[in-house]
Amino acid sequence: MAGPQPPPWVHAAFLLCLLGIGRAIEIPMDLPQPPTITKQSVKDHIVDPRDNILIECEAKGNPAPSFHWTRNSRFFNVAKDPRVSMRRRSGTLVIDFRSGGRPEEYEGEYQCFARNKFGTALSNRIRLQVSKSPLWPKENLDPVVVQEGAPLTLQCNPPPGLPSPVIFWMSSSMEPITQDKRVSQGHNGDLYFSNVMVQDMQTDYSCNARFHFTHTIQQKNPFTLKVLTTRGVAERTPSFMYPQGTSSSQMVLRGTDLLLECIASGVPTPDIAWYKKGGDLPSDKAKFENFNKALRITSVSEEDSGEYFCLASNKMGSIRHTISVRVKAAPYWLEEPENLILAPGEDGRLVCRANGNPKPTVQWMVNGEPLQSAPPNPNREVAGDTIIFRDTQISSRAVYQCNTSNEHGYLLANAFVSVLDVPPRMLSARNQLIRVILYNRTRLDCPFFGSPIPTLRWFKNGQGSNLDGGNYHVYENGSLEIKMIRKEDQGIYTCVATNILGKAENQVRLEVKDPTRIFRMPEDQTAKRGTTVQLECRVKHDPSLKLTVSWLKDDEPLYIGNRMKKEDDSLTIFGVAERDHGSYTCIASTELDQDLAKAYLTVLGRPDRPRDLELTDLAERSVRLTWIPGDDNNSPITEYVVQFEEDQFQPGIWHDHSKFPGSVNSAVLPLSPYVNYQFRVIAVNEVGSSHPSLPSERYRTSGAPPEFNPGDVKGEGTRKNNMEITWTPMNATSAFGPNLRYIVKWRRRETRETWNNVTVWGSRYVVGQTPVYVPYEIRVQAENDFGKGPEPDTVIGYSGEDYPRAAPTDVKVRVLNSTAISLQWNRVYSDTVQGQLREYRAYYWRESSLLKNLWVSQKRQQASFSGDRLRGVVSRLFPYSNYKLEMVVVNGRGDGPRSETKEFTTPEGVPSAPRRFRVRQPNLQTITLEWDHPEHPNGILTGYSLRYTAFNGTKVGKQMVENFSPNDTKFTVQRADPVSRYRFTLSARTQVGSGEAVTEESPAPPNEATPTAAYTNNQADIATQGWFIGLMCAIALLVLILLIVCFIKRSRGGKYPVREKKDVPLGPEDPKEEDGSFDYSDEDNKPLQGSQTSLDGTIKQQESDDSLVDYGEGGEGQFNEDGSFIGQYTVKKDKEETEGNESSEATSPVNAIYSLA
């Protein structure tokens, strides 16, 4: 079965391990060997002139090698120069300038030689150069005059440095020059303007060069621009500013980056697109830079050569430039020579194969000297890029150099030939323990050495055949690779190295561990600021490994502060803040592996406040408001609220002016006359509102007469002889001018009398000495110092009301049922209402109950009938009661006089539910019910009805019905079986019928689900105890004579019957056991008449003269799920006690009253 895939880092680590698997076997350092260069400086070695010069060269060998240097191909005598020293046990040169000297004097080409008695190894030719950062030549630059829309190139021409400086453009005030597809810097450092615009004059332009080693920045004198403007800029087709013409060529070396550049002018600014003739651009290596003006292809190879062209286009036309790319190559290895270890008499070869463009030449050297000038060796044959050795001897030891070169560079490699006679030896510690993760690849290392090179074989658990093939692979250096680890791969592995001189072996113990896996990963979440977020990270790992769970935020270690709680399987963030936004990575790691899972937490916050409010397009009645939106904090802005404040009527109070969609940041605002406006903007998103922006500058509009009159004009009386005229005052934006006031006019309706008028500065006026409830015509007009508002609308108002003078007459009452009556009455005359008729109202109260000695509340209640109605219904009355009722007329002032009192009686109804219905279970045989009389009998009680049903799980028994007299408030139910539960429904009755019912259930038996198993286990345990068997045997011996006849009789069945019943629970299918009795039961154990039947039809024995209580076993009874008796028995009771349980109840005084009624 395939297991889960290991995390990617496991594969990466394994690939790094494989890099060493194919390497040649190295000679242990305790054996004689020629020198090997282990460390050296780069070929082009550029140094900082302020520091000492360090040229590295280190080597190993036995005996330890000595070192010397050449400079410019001549011997370099280190001892003669006091500034130059060589590190101890190393060839590294140190040139010290603390006592003076010029570093430039030591520039040149250096080569290191490491020598011992077995040969000489060479370093690369190291070209030493001192970094240079020359000063910028001083020059006076005249202002650059250019026509608007014309192209422009500002040349940088930095001083030549080593290495070349980094170029960037800034203003003289050190502000970066903003670059886009119109203005950009070319690869040569020049600044190109595809077309010049007027705003380009707002700054100057200075070219800056940053030098790497000195960490200095040099600034060129700035350019200043003078742009000549015209009425309109003419549109132009594109033309190339760089490179010139329609075609060019470029050479690039294999393995470096190819950078192609096209910069074009034109109006409007052209767009640049790139293509390759005869094919597509290499998508995996090509990327566009500098606003598509540059194409970079990384690590070019021969197939990247060809013709590329850039297309510059705008709406006026397009042009293209073709660049022919040729790919050359410095030498690169096809097969690098490796050290050759041979035994005397063996054959071997050194191979040096390289490629390049042009084809490189190969030169062989031995111990640093050309092979042609070396002493002849009959055992050596040179065949081009290969040296063949036959029948080698000890004298053949040497270091060979292969130098392959062409015009673009060279490669130099050292490879020694060592001739040894060494038996096999193991180079690593013995009996290593390797722990690996299930389903991963792994390798078991067995480093060894011997000459001749030994053969290596692997065995598992000391037996079986050589491990190679299938899931195993053995490499030349002796490593055993297991391609996919399984549980069965665990064990002890033995590697055995053998050559003609002997053999050696080593053991590795392999343990296989379960992988670490995050099985519940954190999920991406979106949270509002201030809430709590939990990121889950549940891990499964091998229990023998120590698990560590850590968290990263944005790929950096997470600091667990006071607001965070890190647990084994989660990370909780309390009071989420904006800084918590980002990615969270859970890393579950052991010493062998790790797994990780990442989730992104998006924190939603209220938007930042808008800023930089600006007023433009100022007009008499409008202005344009523009603002810059703040950050939306990950929740898009849905709307902007523009508020205003004025400093005349309500200074310091901000009012909403208008709202705009979240996609706009500029709006035209309508304004009112004579307001000194100040605006601010609030941004709104799903989370909430931002803080208000800083206020804008103020803007005052000129005054004008009001264009509106006040609204919500009303005329209402507060007393019976006045009328109060009120209106909603106009706000600052509707005043339109100073000294806002109101002209109030009124007159009686339909009299056509002249208008009364008054000027009011507030928002109310009271007209006095008015008749009762008379209609008036009312007008309210706004006026300021610039004039009056429009002609106002006429509103009808009324003077004050007085109490009604008359009551409803001819009130008739008809009883509908025990809780409702209908009313009917005659309408009062309108002139007696003395106001607006609101409703007719009935006042009624319960005078008494028809049940004697029953106290009732006589609190008055009311029923309202709105409008000019003549009938209505009064409900929710108490049955079986005497009521009284009066009616009144109601207007805005209050109630009128009351009508004559009417009396009526409600008939008998059904009672309310019995109170305090209680179900008790004193034992397993009986259930006791108790209740109290209904709170509202609503008539004469005739009795109670009880319905009850037994149930056991989904099995429901037959419903039983019991009727009781009104005096009964208790009842005892004999249970059919001790397992079933009961559901009881109780209601009270009058002559009308049954009332509301109440339902209760009997309590559940204790330990309902487990008694059978507990008893069976207990019986089995006691029956198998030795002391119990011994006790039984002793008793049997003492009563043997008395019980000999009974013993023989009961032994015929092979078992003691009671023991059979203990071991096997009784079931309902056994006809002899339906009543729960045992084999030895006598006739008295038969079911009694009147015994209740259980749900499954078995009969429950009520009493027994022969129970296990007589044998010393008592306690509560236990039952099977089907209700059969299986174990312990209740304490035996005399029949006299059982039959005397029921006693008559004392007569309740309340029930006696009901009976008398």
Considering only CA atoms, which of 1119, 1122, 1111 is closest in space to residue 1014? 1119
Is 846 a residue whose pLDDT tops 60?
yes
Grade residue 1025 by pLDDT with cuts at 50, 70 and 90. Answer: low
User: 1076 pLDDT exceeds 50?
Assistant: no
pLDDT on residue 863: 95
Q: Where are the alpha helices (DSSP H) in 636-774?
A: 732-735
Residue 559 has pLDDT above 60, yes or no: yes
What does the mean pLDDT of the chain come to?
Answer: 85
User: Which pLDDT band holds residue 697 (cuts at 50, 70, 90)?
Assistant: very high
Residue 711, pLDDT > 70, answer yes
69-83, 709-723, 735-749, 1100-1114: range with lowest mean pLDDT: 1100-1114
**Neighbour-count burial for 1078-1102, b at 16+ CB within 10 Å, e otherwise:** beebeeebebeeebeebbbebbbbb
Assess contact for 670 and 646: CB atoms under 8 A.
no
Answer yes or no: is pLDDT of 1149 > 60: no
- Would you give the distance in Å from CA 762 to the centre of its chain? 59
Report the candidate in 577, 580, 584 with the shortest Cα–Cα distance to residue 529.
577
Of 475, 436, 403, 401, which is closest to residue 18 (Cα–Cα)? 475
Smallest Cα–Cα separation from 672: which of 708, 626, 627?
Answer: 708
- In sequence order, the 6+-apart residues with CB closer than 8 A to the CB of 42 are 126
Question: 732 falls in which pLDDT band (50, 70, 90)?
Answer: confident
Tell me the C-alpha distance between 232 and 238, whole Å. Answer: 18
**CA nearest to 1065, candidates 1052, 1055, 1078:** 1078
Residues whose CB is less than 8 angstroms from the CB of residue 868 and which lie 6 or more positions away in sequence, other chains included? 827, 837
Q: For residue 68, what are its two tokens? A: 């010397």
Cα distance between residue 608 and residue 116, in whole Å: 74
Neighbours of 332 (CB within 10 A): 14
Which residue, 124, 115, 121, is CA-closest to 416?
121
pLDDT tens-digit profile of 185-219?
A: 999 999 999 999 999 988 899 999 998 877 788 88
- pLDDT given at position 375: 86
Q: Which residues pair with 402 in a beta bridge?
A: 364, 413
Q: What are phi and psi of 173, to 5 degrees?
A: -90, 15
Lowest mean pLDDT among 55-69, 327-341, 672-686, 1023-1037: 1023-1037
Instruction: Determine the Cα–Cα distance for residues 1077 and 1070; give it in Å rounded to an integer.
Output: 11
Two structure tokens written together for 1050? 């009961």
- Greater confidence, 1066 or 828? 828
Q: Which two tokens stand for residue 102?
A: 């010029």
Long-range contacts of 556-561 (CB under 8 A, 24+ apart): 558/584
Residue 1016 has pLDDT above 50, yes or no: no
pLDDT at 1027: 63
Percentage, residues of the chain above pLDDT 90: 67
Give mean pLDDT, residues 876-884.
94
For residues 930-948, give the mean pLDDT: 93
The Cα angle at residue 1147 between residues 1145 and 1149, in degrees rounded to 5: 145
Q: Who has greater pLDDT, 317 or 1137?
A: 317
Interval 107-121: pLDDT, tens: 999 999 999 999 999
What confidence tens digit (pLDDT) does each residue in 339-351 have?
999 999 999 999 9
Residue with token string 């709170």: 935
Higher pLDDT among residues 1067 and 671, named by residue = 671
Q: Which region among 362-376, 396-410, 608-622, 1100-1114 has the lowest average model confidence (pLDDT)? A: 1100-1114
Other C-beta atoms closer than 10 Å to the C-beta of 1033 total 10
pLDDT in tens, 230-272: 878 889 999 999 999 999 999 999 999 999 999 999 999 999 9
The band of 542, judged by pLDDT with boundaries at 50, 70 and 90, is: very high
Report pLDDT digits (tens) over 942-988.
999 999 999 988 888 899 999 999 999 999 999 888 888 999 999 99
Q: How many CA atoms lie within 13 A of 46 on its CB side?
A: 11
Pairwise CA distance, residues 518 & 588, whole Å:
7
When pLDDT is averaged across residues 405-421 and rounded to a whole number, the result is: 94
What's residue 1119's pLDDT?
Answer: 36
Burial of 944 (0-12, 13-18, 19+ CB in 10 A): buried
Q: Are 390 and 379 in contact (CB under 8 A)?
A: yes
| First-residue to last-residue Cα distance in the chain | 89
pLDDT tens digit sequence for 654-666: 999 999 999 999 9
Name which of 948, 901, 905, 902 is nearest 928 in CA terms.
948
| Residue 125, helix vs strand vs coil | coil
Q: Specify the higher pLDDT residue, 330 or 475.
A: 330
Structure tokens at 61: 């060998």
SS3 category, 760 = strand
**pLDDT level of residue 467 (50, 70, 90 thresholds):** confident
**Tens digits of residue pLDDT in 581-598:** 999 999 999 999 999 999
According to DSSP, the β-strands at 981-989 and 943-952 are antiparallel
Give the separation between CA 677 and CA 615, rounded to whole angstroms: 11
Q: Is 703 exposed, middle or buried (0-12, 13-18, 19+ CB in 10 A)?
A: middle
Is 659:641 a contact under the CB 8 Å cutoff? yes
pLDDT the model gives residue 1051 = 55
Scanning the structure block, which residue is given the tokens 């990780």? 596
Structure confidence by residue, pLDDT tens digits, 621-643: 999 999 999 999 889 999 999 99
Look at residue 825 and tell me whether its pLDDT is greater than 90.
Answer: yes
pLDDT digits (tens, 9 = 90+) for 14-73: 333 333 444 457 889 999 999 999 999 999 999 988 889 999 999 999 999 999 999 999
| DSSP, residue by residue, 381-420 | EEETTEEEE-S--GGG-EEEEEEEEETTEEEEEEEEEEE-
CA nearest neighbour of 776 among 804, 745, 802, 803: 745
Predicted local confidence at residue 1048, as pLDDT = 62
In 10 A of CB 691, how many CB atoms? 14
Cα 105 from Cα 81, distance rounded (Å) = 12
Q: Find, among 214, 104, 240, the residue nearest to 159 by Cα.
A: 214
* Contact of 768 with 815, CB cutoff 8 Å: no
Say how many residues make up the chain: 1157
Which residue has 């194409």 as its token pair?
A: 295
319 C-beta neighbours (distance < 10 Å), count: 17
Q: Is the pLDDT of residue 1083 over 70?
A: no
Token readout for 506 is 């080593």
Confidence class for position 1041, pLDDT limits 50, 70, 90: confident
C-alpha to C-alpha distance for 91 and 1005, rounded to whole angstroms: 95
Mean predicted confidence (pLDDT) in 69-95: 93
Q: Which 3 state secondary structure label does DSSP give 1095?
A: coil
